[in-house]
């Protein structure tokens, strides 16, 4: 059992209970006082964002490792396991992935795929809790949000690598008139896999399953120092040099690549959306979040906002 308390002061947050807001104390003594109090805390926010980079321990709780958010609603556990559709699927809560019950300071989760998990609940601050799995000595840290003030841009940009991999392919749908002619003009499809990318010269509207991949190589997404709304992307082609782009998210199915060397803007639309961990179909073992830290570039944005 974990014996060290993470918080000794009192913190307040608002929770929606029976169509009105009441005050719930997020504090260890309050959580452990009763099963009812524990459930109140879990329901005090609409969405709990799983900060995977804050995870401590070498073990794993599979459904937390795959989720971007989880929600506890009157005995039902919901999860957003995809970035695509987040904020829309299940009214923003995601999909029903199991049930839960509370005891004093603990939550007993029966996940549709991963089975039973008994987790201890601890307070961290006024909108953050820790879910601790004693069997693996692993802690997950969840930050609470209301649906109407959830920072969706943060989720997309903080998890951009996973977003790029949530489609079987990205089809080029727009090339700006401005910009010098360059080889990338001829590449109409991109595919991002965990360890490499592929590109295709096939004509627009080709069925994804019929695509022929003409090039492949390594890719890297970078953070940009001092600019949280910008990522950069390098495509390092096997035998053919590399390309550098500014990467922007337009929406959950469209990205923009700006090629500074030529001054050309491209838009790509996702094809073949891959939905993970549907409760009736199992999950793809390759979809698992892990601690990541993209390298940082000290560059200035070239494309005007």
CA 68 to CA 294: how far, in whole Å?
18
Are the CB atoms for 116 and 110 separated by under 8 Å?
A: yes
CA 134 to CA 264: how far, in whole Å?
53
Model-level pTM?
0.83
CA 131 to CA 120: how far, in whole Å?
6
Q: What's the N-to-C CA distance of the chain in angstroms?
A: 52
pLDDT at 23: 58
| Domains of the chain from N-terminus onward | 12-150 (2.40.128), 160-297 (2.40.128.280)
**How far apart, in Å, are the Cα atoms of 255 and each of 21, 53, 234?**
38, 24, 15
pLDDT at 45: 95
Are the CB atoms for 279 and 97 separated by under 8 Å?
A: yes
pLDDT at 31: 82
CA 170 to CA 270: how far, in whole Å?
4
CA atoms within 13 A on the CB side of 301: 14
pLDDT at 293: 75
Total residues belonging to the chain: 305
pLDDT at 15: 37
Assigned token pair, 59: 């073990």
pLDDT averaged per 10 residues, the chain (length 305): 33 34 64 88 96 93 95 97 90 95 96 96 93 96 94 89 94 96 96 95 96 97 92 93 95 96 97 66 55 84 83
């Amino acid at each position: 059992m974990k014996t060290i308390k993470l918080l000794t002061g009192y913190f307040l947050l608002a929770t929606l209970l029976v169509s009105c807001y009441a005050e719930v104390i997020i504090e260890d003594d309050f959580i452990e006082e009763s099963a009812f109090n524990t459930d109140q805390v879990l329901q005090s926010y609409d969405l709990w964002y799983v900060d995977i980079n804050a995870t401590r321990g070498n073990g794993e709780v599979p459904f937390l490792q795959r989720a971007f958010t989880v929600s506890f609603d009157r005995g039902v556990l919901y999860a957003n396991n995809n970035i695509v559709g987040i904020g829309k699927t299940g009214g923003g809560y995601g999909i029903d992935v199991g049930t839960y019950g509370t005891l004093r300071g603990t939550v007993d989760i029966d996940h549709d795929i991963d089975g039973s998990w008994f987790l201890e609940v601890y307070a961290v601050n006024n909108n953050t809790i820790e879910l601790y799995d004693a069997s693996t000595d692993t802690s997950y840290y969840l930050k609470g949000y209301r649906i109407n003030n959830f920072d969706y841009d943060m989720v997309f940009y903080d998890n951009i690598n996973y977003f790029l991999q949530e489609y079987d392919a990205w089809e080029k749908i727009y090339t700006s008139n401005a910009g010098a002619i360059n080889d990338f003009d001829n590449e109409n499809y991109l595919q991002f896999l965990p360890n490499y990318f592929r590109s295709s010269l096939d004509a627009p509207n080709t069925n994804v399953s019929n695509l022929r991949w003409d090039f492949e190589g390594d890719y890297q997404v970078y953070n940009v120092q001092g600019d949280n709304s910008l990522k950069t992307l390098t495509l390092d082609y096997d035998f053919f040099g590399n390309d550098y782009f500014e990467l922007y998210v337009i929406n959950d199915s469209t990205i923009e690549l700006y090629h500074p060397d030529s001054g050309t803007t491209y838009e790509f639309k996702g094809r073949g959306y891959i939905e993970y961990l549907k409760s009736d179909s199992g999950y793809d073992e390759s979809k698992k979040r892990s601690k990541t830290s993209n390298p940082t570039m000290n560059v200035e944005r070239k494309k005007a906002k």
